[in-house]
Amino acid sequence: MLTKPKEAIRNTDYLNNTQTNEYSHKEISEQVERNLNKERSSNLEILRIISMLMIVMHHYALYSGFVWENGVTVNRIIVNFFQMFGKLGAITFIIISGYFYDKTKFKLKKFIMLLIQVWTFSIIGLGIGIIINSDKINLVNIIKSIFPTSFSLYWFATCYILMYIFIPFLRKIIENISKRDFKILLTIMVGIWFIYGNIPGIETYSNNLILFITIYLIGGYIKKYNVNFLNNKKRIASVIIIITIMNLIMIIMELLSTKITLLSGKISFFNGQSSPFILILAILLLVIFKNIDIKNTETINKIASTTFGIYLVHENLFLRDIIWKQIVRGSEFTNSPLLIINAILGVIGVFIISMIIYVIIEKLIINNLVKILSKIYYKVKETNLYIQAENKLVNYYNN
């Protein structure tokens, strides 16, 4: 006679016990989280870390306050190189999420956790801004900080949270649509956003949420049909070649834009979020890393799990000037041969320190807020009305 393992019996008891207490729910949640972590592929978690590093690189170039004289210098090339990675990092982050569409389900707890994370760091940033008498303290920014997702204090976080609401529906599209129709859908979406929208004078009336949904679907398509092209050596060579060509073109355009007005502001075609080159690079990076065999590593996965928090820390409206202009001080190295060292150490330093700050804040504040909300949640959950509503919502979203 077959018997259930003790662990299985214990977990079944948790689930079947109608009088399950708060601590038991927590144990179940932690067990589920551990099981999910076992399934996480460290190769793509490394890419997630790299995508956030690219975003930090972009912010180094964007917020350091560099002022360039006419002409090309080595330092200007370095800063331009750093700046081009911002949108690539964001697009790559989303395409990874799309690739894991089959392992992602809408969870109210995660949705609330995302909102709490954004709100916590918005309020902390506002508090620091008030203490240091930041010149950015005004009524508009205070309202934005109190309602960060409603007023898009963090554009990336706001779009990511909004996209998360649509994940159950996006999953249904990915799983049920035919390959032919999927190709047609992606062709239309990519054509409108990345090609038609780049024609001068054309307005597509789209927004970042539509962009994120498009990228998510591309990631889902790559996963569903196991898309592969070329071999990894050729893919890596393609990434290097495209990045090199993009940088050369952007340098030439910056030089010519001082004489040819028509070229002014057109560099975004190469490094903007609707750039076809950025999309191609993100797809190449995903296909490269999904084919790399890397042993599942808990340390890598834990670091990757903090990337969203790293973004919230270093991209805060009131903190970014302190970070880049008062601490890293990249602009002081504008004409210095040490700029590359300042840039590398600054990016790595901001990444690591932001990660540490996030982990500390998560343990001291965010987790306690979640506990308070959990107590309220479990009390409400005992009501029959809630149970009926929850079952209908979960079944609708995930089936």
DSSP string, 252-312: HHHHHHTT-GGGTTTTHHHHSTT-HHHHHHHHHHHHHHHTS-----HHHHHHHTTHHHHHH
Q: How far is CA 303 from CA 42, 293, 300, 354, in A?
A: 11, 19, 5, 11
Answer yes or no: is 135 within a domain.
Answer: yes
Residue 83 lies in a domain: yes
Contacts 24+ apart (CB under 8 A), 194-202: 194/274, 194/275, 194/276, 194/279, 195/276, 197/274, 198/269, 198/274, 198/275, 198/276
Nearest CA to 90 among 243, 214, 240? Answer: 214
383 vs 5 pLDDT, higher one? 383
Contact 58, 83 (CB under 8 A): yes
Distance, in Å, from the CA atom of 319 to the CA atom of 274, rounded to the nearest integer, reads: 28
Q: What is the pLDDT of residue 37?
A: 46
Which of 223-227, 286-290, 291-295, 347-351 bottoms out in mean pLDDT, i.e. has the lowest?
A: 291-295
Asked if residue 385 is part of any domain, the answer here is: no
User: Would you say residue 5 has pLDDT above 90?
Assistant: no
Lowest-confidence region among 35-44, 90-99, 287-296, 351-360: 35-44
Query: What pLDDT is attached to residue 319?
Result: 93
Domain that holds residue 288: 44-367
C-alpha R_g of the chain: 23
What are the structure tokens assigned to 233, written together? 């050596």
Residue 14 has pLDDT above 80, yes or no: no
pLDDT of amino acid 304: 95
Please check the confidence at residue 398 and state whether its pLDDT lies above 80. no
Count, residues in the chain: 399
Indicate whether 64 pLDDT > 60: yes
Residue 318 maps to a domain: yes
**Which tokens sit at 231?**
């071999």
**Cα–Cα dist 13/349, whole Å:** 47
Note whether residue 25 is domain-resident.
no
106: phi then psi, degrees, rounded to nearest 5: -65, 125
- Judge contact between 92 and 285, C-beta under 8 A: yes
Residue 320 CA: distances (Å) to CA of 63, 105, 395: 7, 33, 42
Domain presence at residue 5: no
Quick one: DSSP state of residue 70?
S
Examine the pLDDT at 77 and tell me if it is beyond 80: yes
Name the pLDDT band for 13 (thresholds 50, 70, 90). very low
Answer whether residue 261 shows pLDDT above 70.
Answer: no
The answer on pLDDT for 20 being more than 60 is: no
Checking if the pLDDT of 12 tops 60, the result is no
In a domain, 383, yes or no: no
pLDDT (mean) for 346-368: 95
Sign of CA dihedral 19, 23, 26, 28: negative
Average pLDDT for 88-104: 93
Please report which residue ranges of 70-154 form alpha helices under DSSP H: 74-83, 85-99, 108-131, 139-146
Lowest-confidence segment of 50-59, 329-338, 383-392 by average pLDDT: 383-392
The answer to whether the CB of 216 falls within 8 A of the CB of 100 is: no
Sign of dihedral through CA atoms 266, 270, 271, 277? positive
* Nearby residues of 357 by Cβ (< 8 Å), 6 or more positions away: 313
What does the pLDDT read at residue 105?
84
Collapsed DSSP state (helix, strand, coil) of residue 334: coil
Give this prediction's pTM: 0.82
Query: Nearest CA to 96 among 57, 35, 52?
Result: 52
pLDDT band, residue 157 (cuts 50/70/90)? very high
Average pLDDT of 114-134? 91
The total number of structural domains that make up the chain:
1
Residue 123 lies in a domain: yes
